Amino acid sequence: MNSQKITAQSASFLLVGFMTLLHLFLAFNVELGGDEAHYALYGLMPDWSYFDHPPMIGWLQIIPMWLAPYDWSARLVPIVLYAILNYLLYQITVQLFPAQTNNQAWSNAWKGFASLVVLNTSLILSLMGMAMLPDNPLMVAVLALVLVTHKLLQTNQLKYWILLGLFVGLAALSKYTAVTVIASLLLVLLIEKKWSWLTSKGLWIAIIIALILITPILYWNAIHEWASFIYQIDHGTKSSEWRLSRLLQTQAIQLVAYTPFLFIMGWWMMLKPANYQQQNSRLLLLFSLPITLLFAWGSGYEKSLPHWVSLAWVLLIPIMVNYLWQVRHKTWVKVITAIHIIIFGIGVLILHSLLFKPWIDFPDHKNPLQGDYGWPQAAKTAIELQNEHIDDSKDLPLFVSNWSYASHLTWYSRPQPVYITSGKQTQFEFWFGKPKAGMNGILVAPHYETNPPVTDRLNHFTSCKLLKTQDIKSSESSDAIIVTYYYYLCHNFIAEQPGLVTLPKLSNASKQASPSLNAK
């Protein structure tokens, strides 16, 4: 019996199917990260929009949270979005970089498969395939938008304008950095000299559709004193000094997170002049460059998180795959491709296995996963201590020092509220309000926080007493401590008085100055 060779489509299906099954397995066996818990709470408490992000990330979680508010259900939507992302990336590769002749049509599909290989061997992108982030729906919306824009460069059909307005609106509902999409479309209009678009009724229909879709964001901000917009404008610009060191550190993190193969080849494609001379590669660059430049410059003021630029790197994949395919017979291409697939294919599997069980014994408190580990146990212990020390005449709510810890603790101790001692405005203020003056509470602090906690100043307690410490290990047989949690019984929360600005206390070994109060 003759064996039939596997097709590119079958190989693509098997790859995406394998990653989907891997993500589903982990969904049932790994606790939620801070961002995942935060957006799961969005789904439990739906709103028109949210303080730190537009509403799409929460809306997508409403049904899973309504049906089954568990860790695994919070991952169903991102797993589906990741499968769709793979499909769209495949389509962009084969449609924007088609074979030159019919005899080479087979190579088209294999280029699509190659793009999926690069995507799924990227450490951070493969992990994002199971973790809900605003970037997930943003990438899906923008990749679909690129395909639509590609069609509009060839035809002026109304259906594509309607789709353009739809995907621009969906991108805006996903993340505020979708503003770069508008810049990209303007660049496409200018560079491709599509002046006829300005007089096309389709463009104005697309604008109306996009504006209608973003009205929930505008409505929420209008009734909350434009809190989201103010936060986004301030975010990453509070440092007055731009530092090259911050930019280089951010780029170094991306080098590791996206793999040296994608990082180096991606920058090469962005700097290669020939890519700007061909319309389809230019189209992808016009959508990726605004994001890249925005966060590259912004990281000089504040280091950017690696997933913030995920859209840009995904858009660069088809360009680099198309280039490498043209020179695939060269020895250096075969060598670096093989090295990348072997090393980072194994790396992706190891990284996913560490989520399932931290089987590598790092030194105590040095495990890179410590920030997202042990929160179910911490919540259980906090509730037990809360019940032991609660006074019948007074509540004893839970406290943490920042929003990420609050997300973990709120998810695993729900439905009770969790308050934050930092004094910074967060989404939790809109959910639970600010902690009130005189409150007592149980403060939960991991070892990587300030222990003992800061006391006797604004937005903190007058005093805190250590009740318990809890070491969390990967297993009973392991001696390595991943994270240690500290639990404090704290008294008399010092809240800011409305209408007053309070200056913090200054302290040293010899004296303490009293805080000054000045009218706003």
Q: Taking the chain, what is the end-to-end CA distance rounded to the nearest angstrom?
A: 86
The yes-or-no verdict on residue 477 having pLDDT over 90 is: no
The yes-or-no verdict on residue 88 having pLDDT over 50 is: yes
Q: Is residue 91 very low, low, confident or very high in pLDDT (cuts 50, 70, 90)?
A: very high
- Confidence (pLDDT) at 102: 60
Q: How large a percentage of the chain has pLDDT more than 90?
A: 82
Helical residues (DSSP H) of 45-157, grouped into ranges: 56-67, 76-96, 105-120, 123-128, 135-152
- Confidence (pLDDT) at 507: 35
Domain segments of the chain as ranges: 8-232+243-354, 370-519
pLDDT digits (tens, 9 = 90+) for 347-365: 999 999 999 988 888 899 9
Rounded Cα distance, 350 and 337, in Å: 19
Q: What is the mean pLDDT of residues 157-175?
A: 97
Q: Are 462 and 456 in contact (CB under 8 A)?
A: yes
Q: How far is CA 397 from CA 121, 373, 377, 489, in A?
A: 44, 22, 17, 10
The pair phi, psi for residue 271, each rounded to 5°, is: -95, -5
| DSSP secondary structure letter of residue 155 | -
Interior angle at CA 410, CA 404 and CA 416, nearest 5: 150
**Could you write out the DSSP letters of every residue in 171-192?**
HHHH-GGGHHHHHHHHHHHHHT
The yes-or-no verdict on residue 516 having pLDDT over 80 is: no
At 405, list the tokens.
């810890």
The yes-or-no verdict on residue 3 having pLDDT over 60 is: no
Which amino acid appears at position 502 of this protein? Answer: T
Task: Tell how strand 500-502 and strand 461-473 pair up.
Answer: unpaired
Q: Name the 3-class secondary structure at 482.
A: strand
At 277, list the tokens.
């001379």
Q: How far is CA 180 from CA 292, 304, 311, 415, in A?
A: 10, 16, 11, 38
pLDDT digits (tens, 9 = 90+) for 251-264: 999 999 999 999 99
Q: How many CB atoms lie within 10 A of CB 24?
A: 15
Which amino acid appears at position 71 of this protein? Answer: D
Question: Which residues sit opposite 408 in a β-bridge?
Answer: none
Interior angle at CA 412, CA 406 and CA 415, nearest 5: 85
Residue 371, exposed/middle/buried by CB under 10 A (0-12, 13-18, 19+)?
A: middle
At 198, list the tokens.
């300005």
Rounded Cα distance, 251 and 239, in Å: 19
The yes-or-no verdict on residue 240 having pLDDT over 80 is: no
Whether the ω angle into residue 452 lies within 30 degrees of 0, i.e. cis, is yes
pTM attached to this predicted model: 0.91
Q: Is residue 518 very low, low, confident or very high in pLDDT (cuts 50, 70, 90)?
A: very low
At 474, list the tokens.
């990967």
Which amino acid appears at position 314 of this protein? Answer: V
pLDDT digits (tens, 9 = 90+) for 457-470: 999 999 999 999 99
The full length of the chain comes to 520
**Could you write out the DSSP letters of every residue in 391-426?**
BTTB---EEESSHHHHHHHHHHHTTS-EEESS----
Question: Which residues sit opposite 486 in a β-bridge?
Answer: 445, 469
At 179, list the tokens.
């503003």
For residues 241 and 172, the model is more confident at: 172
At 137, list the tokens.
């729906």
| Cα R_g (the chain), whole angstroms | 25
User: Largest Cα–Cα distance in the chain?
Assistant: 91
- Confidence (pLDDT) at 304: 87
Rounded Cα distance, 222 and 283, in Å: 35
> Looking up tokens 């049906």, which residue turns up?
67
The yes-or-no verdict on residue 505 having pLDDT over 50 is: no
Q: What is the mean pLDDT of residues 279-307?
A: 93
- Confidence (pLDDT) at 501: 42
| DSSP secondary structure letter of residue 300 | T
Q: Is residue 234 very low, low, confident or very high in pLDDT (cuts 50, 70, 90)?
A: confident
Burial letters 135-163, b for 16+ CB under 10 A, else e: bbbbbbbbbbbbbbbbbbeeebeeebbeb
Q: Calculate the average pLDDT of the chain.
A: 91
Q: Are 421 and 401 in contact (CB under 8 A)?
A: yes
**Could you write out the DSSP letters of every residue in 64-88?**
HHHH--STTGGGHHHHHHHHHHHHH
